[in-house]
Every structure is written in structure tokens, then in C-alpha cells.
Amino acid sequence: MPESIVEMRHITKRFPGIVANDDINLSIHKGEIFALLGENGAGKSTLMSMLFGMYEPDEGELIVRGKKVNITSPAEAVALEIGMVHQHFKLVSNYTVTENIIMGREPLRRLLGILPYIDRKGAELKVQALCDRYGFDLNPRAVIEDLGVSQQQRVEILKMLYREAEILIFDEPTAMLTPQETARLLDIIRKLRDDGKTVILITHKLEEIKQVADRCAVLNRGRLIDVFDVASTSTRLMAAKMVGREIDFEVDKTAPVFGEVILDVSQLTVLDAQKVAMVKDVSFTVHAGEVFAVAGVAGNGQVELADTLAGLLAAKEGSISFKGENITRASVRKRTVEGLAYIPEDRHGVGLILDFPVSDNLASKAYFRPPFAKGPFLQQFAFRQYADTLIERYDIRCSKGALTPVRSMSGGNQQKLIVAREIDADGDLVIFVQPTRGLDIGATMGIRQRIIAERDKGKAVLLISLELDEVLSCADTIGVLYDGRMTKIAPANELSRNEVGEYMMGVQR
């Protein structure tokens, strides 16, 4: 029997209105890479946050190295040699690497045996030694705000190692990384295991689990579904366990047939609220019948580009032409009426009114046109009828039909609702921004297939996604945004996955 280092017995954690973890029993072996798989909201972060002392379980027991423990704060977790790298880093941006690492455990020395001072030099040497050991190219004196995402993540890892953690929890560590950075992180994780550490890897990415994990537990809606050996389980079966049914991974797609140019963006420059250029001199065209997919790491101008095309943000320079007409300064409504559909990333901010029913949300783009804009009575009737049709056509699951408040629906069904509303309008261009973020694989594949279906109907599609898989599976043409510039545009079948990754990191330009 392998030695278990962490055991969870009947762990239950409730939040108002939801059971985030429901009677979980788990045993994690010393020296293994243990993956925790599940869709967004399955309860992964909550479960491991309890091991790190951020929440306390409502019921159940935690056992670490054979002893029952109550971990009521991260400090107590650290004392038990447990460390955690959170989804959102917790670094002080104007401090150096070393200052962040030693924070809260500053090594003190005494000058002349009396005056206490922080032994910065000694700390830097220790940090440097850890960097050397794990092959991190990181200057202990660099200031955090000058570092990229993957380097900041390494600082978080060093912080755990400096505190001599033996149980290392990584919460969705590759969400913000490029494929190359991801590969390097997975190497580091293997190395940590080789050093005898126990690694808990929270993720919803099956590929990563397949590559590094020894065993995997699956959570679904707060419940533990299964624990299995990774080597003997297919990716397809893992996916089925995660979402509770079999799924088809392939997007069915035939060769595109390009029509006329629908969207023509020329030398577009956009500033943010601080007057910093976020989109720089970007030019590209999208044809009818084409999926033009924009690849890039988060924060390289994607959101600003999309918002400008939708009319939510003003262009500083350059022009946007839609079906031959200059719409650079046109209102949002004019763009909508002309046939430009926009499915934003922030579904709650601009996408949906959560307290309104499905019917009102479905009609919110069309309320000013007939049949909705006639008499008040006819209007209500038309809203309902329209909603019923879309619910059926797009398979939107809502308990009370058209009258269901949107707030009570799952994320996947909220997203289907927005997609239905936007693409049913029969426009000429659909802009999708991160359309499958946070959705399970079943809903994700449904939306990707829908993107291709719109293309096949002859619409122009602009897809902006941080998921390289999504770009590669849907695109006819790929454009890469790096630092606000479109550094590469090429037909999708002329670019390898690695090449796209290199453009995303700014290695090739």
C-alpha cells in the first residue's frame, strides 16, 4: 500500500444556496502527482482551499501524515509543509522577487549582536540556489511588476519551496500560459515529484493530466465521481467522467468557401482609459464564409479590439469598414441593425440582464424592431413566441421556459442564450469573444460546431479566443495579437501549433 500523506474523510462544505463539496473521501499518496479534474464550479478550489486553511469544512476530517488536523489559517497549513499557488497570484507588485518570497518569514540577523536587521543577502543567495536547482531564469532582485505571468508564477513556486513545503497545490496553473510555458511548467512539476514532493494539480485540461499526473480524482457538482490511474484511462473516458456523458471531440468542418469581404479593418489604433495604446496599427479582413480567429495570450489587445468593432470603444486612428460602409464612428445600434452580432466575453456585464426572464433577454437586441415594437399587447406575445422558438432551436435548458429568470440558469445555458440571440438575428458578421470560457466540454463542442455552422451559412465570423485549441479547431485564417499588434496573419493550415505559440509569446515576429 502506498503511504498516504493527505486524507479527506466525509468532507462537506456549504456556501449559501450550494453544497460546494459533498461528502468527499480522498487519499493522496506521498510523492505522487494527484490531479483534481472538474468543470468550472465543480468545487475543486474550495476543496483544496480547505487543505490550505482558507476555509474550514462544515463536516468531515482532514488527516495529514496520519494525524487529524484542524487547519484554520494558511499559516497553519505552511507549518504542516503545505503550499498553494492560487489561480490569481498574491504578489506585491512593487517588491522584488526575494522580498515577496521572504515576506512574513524575513531572516533576521543582529548587527554587533544587538540591532536586528533583515538578512537580504542571505535570502537572495537561498533564492538563487532554488532557482539554479529548478532551472528558473529569474533574477532574485527583479521587481514583480517587470515580470511576465510565467515568471511571476515561478516566484509563487519559489515561495512555497522557500517555506519548505512538501505538499504543493497548484490551482489551474496553466490558465494564463502559452503552450511552451505550459510545457515548461509541467516539467517543473515532474521535477518536484522526482524530488519527493507531493503535487496536487487542479485543472480542467485533460491533456495536462495525461502528460504528468499519476492519479486523478473527478469532481462534478461538488461530488467525487471517481479516482483512477491516469496511465490506464483514455482521455475520452476522462472527459466522459468529467461531464457525465460521452462526447465527440472533433469539430466537423469542410473546406471554406470565401465570399466577398465583409469586415475590413485598416490601421486601427485604440487607446484605453489611461490613453495607453492597446491596439496598434492593426489591419485584417474577414470574408463571408470565413472564420478568422485571433490567437493571443490574455491582455494583448483582444478585448479592446472586439469592443471597438462592436462600437463600445472609440478608435483613435484607422478605419473599420463593414460590407463596404465605413462604420468607424457608427453607434452600437446602427451596427446591430446593419447585421453585426457581438458575443462578448463578459456575459454578465454587457451580455445579460440576470434578473430578467429568458424572453426579455432574448429579445433585448430586437425590441426596437417589428414585430416587437408594435402595440404593448402584441409585443408581449411576440416576445414569448420568439423565445419559445429559440429555446427549442438552440437547446437552451431552462426550468420555466421563456419565463425562467436568467440568474437561475447554469453558465452553459446562459451562454447558449446569448449565442442564440446574437446569431439568430441573421446578420452578416458574428464576433465571438472567448465563447466557451468556463463551459464544460459538451457545451464547448456545441458552440464550436455552431461557429462552423454560421460560417457555412455564409456569415463572416471573427473568433477571439485565448484557447489555442479553439483557434486551431475553428479557424480558416489565424491572426496573432501580441502586444496590441497583429504580428502574423496566415491560413490556418499553413501554421503549426508551435509556430502560433511562438508568435503568441513574441518569439517570432
Ligand X SMILES: Nc1ncnc2c1ncn2[C@@H]1O[C@H](COP(=O)(O)OP(=O)(O)O)[C@@H](O)[C@H]1O
Q: Which does 427 bind (CB under 5 to 8 A by kind): Mg ion, ligand X, none?
A: none
Residue with smaller CB distance to ligand X, 242 or 452: 242
Angle (CA) 311-492-149 rounded to 5° is 65
Closest separation in Å from C-beta 241 to ligand X = 15
Q: Which is nearer to ligand X, 99 or 171 (CB)?
A: 171
- When asked if residue 45 is in the footprint of Mg ion (CB under 5 A), the reply is yes
Question: What is the spatial distance between Cα 320 and Cα 340, in angstroms, rounded to a whole number?
Answer: 12
**CB nearer Mg ion, residue 39 or residue 454:** 39
Query: Using CA atoms, how far apart are residues 471 and 336, in angstroms rounded to an integer?
Result: 25
Q: Which residue has the cell 496573419?
A: 489
Contact 23, 12 (CB under 8 A): yes
- Would you tell me which residues interact with ligand X (CB under 6 A)? 15, 18, 20, 38, 40-46
Q: Which does 38 bind (CB under 5 to 8 A by kind): Mg ion, ligand X, none?
A: ligand X
Residues 6+ apart with CB under 8 A from 392: none
- Which one of 43-51, 158-166, 346-354, 461-469 is the stretch in contact with Mg ion (CB under 5 A)? 43-51
DSSP 256-285: ----SEEEEEEEEEEE-TTS-EEEEEEEEE
Contact segment (CB under 5 A) with Mg ion among 37-45, 114-122, 275-283, 438-446 equals 37-45
How many residues form the binding site for Mg ion (CB under 5 A)?
1
Whose CA is closest to 193, among 33, 432, 353, 377? 33
Min separation Cβ 8 and ligand X, Å: 14
Q: Which lies closer to ligand X via its Cβ, residue 224 or residue 429?
A: 224
d(CA 229, CA 214): 6
Q: How is the beta sheet containing 261-271 ordered, strand by strand?
A: 277-287, 261-271, 317-322, 325-326
Which partner, Mg ion, ligand X, none, binds residue 75 by CB below 5 to 8 Å per kind? none
By beta-carbon proximity to ligand X, the closer residue of 43 and 296 is 43
Q: Which of Mg ion, ligand X, none does 185 bind, CB closer than 5 to 8 A by kind?
A: none
Q: Which of positions 384-423 make contact with Mg ion (CB under 5 A)?
A: none
Residue 446 site contact among Mg ion, ligand X, none (CB < 5 to 8 Å, cut-off depends on kind):
none
Q: Kindly tell me which of 46 and 444 has the beta carbon lying closer to ligand X.
A: 46
Dihedral pair phi/psi, residue 160, rounded to 5°: -65, -45
User: What contacts 24+ positions apart, CB below 8 Å, involve 89-92?
Assistant: 89/152, 89/153, 89/155, 89/156, 90/156, 91/144, 91/152, 91/155, 91/156, 92/144
Closest distance to Mg ion from the beta carbon of 172 (Å): 6
Q: Could you list the residues that contact Mg ion (CB under 5 A)?
A: 45
